[in-house]
């Protein structure tokens, strides 16, 4: 403590009683009631899919949903929603794009001149841009904002946990043992002293394939340890998403809002109860 410079954001200590983080302020024209992060320990497990499904469910229920695509180097949210126009600015700030059903969306691919242009930035720069997505965008009367975070436990997740008022997170995984081990890193990060972010549920994507003819479930990647991980960390809600070509086709065609997602019912109800 004698060496403390009170710069908590750059401090590695997790057991300091004086450790605090100042939350960034929204644009003066913005209003966001609840913030939910969607995270994963690694890439390629379907985090953007789960983000899109949750936002679509909330929008369909009559709430105003929004998505902040914080995966700046691999943004896929606009493609899922069939958006290709660029975001515009106004005197009040940067205006989100809006999906067919009214979900407000901010993504780097809606800012770049070409969607295939690479974003080659250092982690600290990316983290600051994510903060600007919160402070400089006009989020109008948002009931539920979902933040699609990049994989891992690096700069962006840490920045979001510290600088934004996150009400809880949903963790996305896939069945392999290796992925389960990495997911526990994301769980442990959220539960660290000084962060203490509530975990609302775990979603296992690509959990099984159900035969159209006989209805039998085939666990292509093997049986997972999802319940074991959830029980060990006191996580009540567990959801399993199937391998379904119809879902993949809807996402590729920008029609994620048309996908029914009954597997997420319990997690959706938990988010509504926040």
What are the structural domain ranges in the chain? 38-272
Confidence at 7, pLDDT banded by 50, 70, 90: very low
- In this prediction, residue 10 carries a pLDDT of 44
Residue 141: DSSP 8-state: S
pLDDT, tens digit (0-9, with 9 covering 90-100), for 95-119: 999 999 999 999 999 998 887 888 8
Confidence at 139, pLDDT banded by 50, 70, 90: very high
pTM given for the model = 0.90
Q: What is d(CA 164, CA 265) in angstroms, rounded to the nearest whole number?
A: 26
Look at residue 229 and tell me whether its pLDDT is greater than 60.
yes
The 3-state DSSP class for residue 263 equals helix
Q: Where are the beta strands (DSSP E) in 57-99?
A: 65-69, 88-89, 94-95, 97-98
Burial bucket for residue 7 (CB in 10 Å: 0-12, 13-18, 19+): exposed
How does the average pLDDT of the chain come out, rounded?
A: 89
pLDDT, tens digit (0-9, with 9 covering 90-100), for 154-186: 899 999 999 999 999 999 998 876 667 777 888
Look at residue 251 and tell me whether its pLDDT is greater than 50.
yes
In terms of phi and psi (left: phi > 0; alpha: psi -120 to 50; beta: otherwise), the region of 145 is beta
- In this prediction, residue 2 carries a pLDDT of 47
Topology (CATH level 3) of domain 38-272: Rossmann fold (3.40.50)
């Amino acid at each position: 403590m004698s060496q403390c410079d009170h710069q908590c954001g750059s401090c590695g200590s997790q057991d300091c009683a004086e450790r605090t983080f100042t939350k960034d302020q929204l644009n003066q024209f913005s209003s966001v009631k609840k913030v939910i992060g969607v995270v994963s320990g690694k890439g390629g497990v379907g985090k953007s899919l789960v983000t899109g499904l949750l936002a679509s469910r909330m929008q369909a229920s009559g709430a105003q949903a929004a998505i902040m695509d914080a995966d700046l180097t691999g943004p896929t949210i606009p493609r899922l929603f069939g958006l290709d126009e660029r975001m515009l600015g106004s005197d009040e700030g940067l205006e989100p794009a809006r999906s067919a059903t009214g979900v407000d969306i901010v993504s780097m691919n809606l800012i770049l001149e070409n969607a295939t242009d690479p974003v080659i930035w250092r982690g600290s720069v990316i983290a600051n841009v994510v903060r600007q997505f919160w402070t400089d965008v006009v989020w109008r009367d948002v009931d539920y904002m979902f933040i699609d975070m990049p994989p891992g436990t690096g700069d962006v997740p840490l920045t979001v946990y510290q600088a934004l008022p996150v009400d809880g997170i949903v963790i996305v995984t896939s069945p392999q043992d290796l992925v389960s081990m990495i997911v526990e890193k994301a769980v442990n990060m959220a539960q660290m002293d000084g962060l203490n972010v509530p975990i609302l549920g775990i979603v296992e994507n690509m959990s099984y394939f159900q035969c159209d003819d006989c209805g039998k479930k085939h666990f292509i990647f093997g049986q997972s340890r999802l319940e074991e991980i959830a029980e060990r960390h006191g996580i009540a809600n567990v959801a399993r998403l199937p391998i379904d070509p119809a879902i993949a086709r809807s996402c590729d065609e920008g029609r994620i809002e048309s996908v029914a997602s009954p597997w997420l019912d319990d997690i959706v109800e938990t988010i509504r109860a926040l």
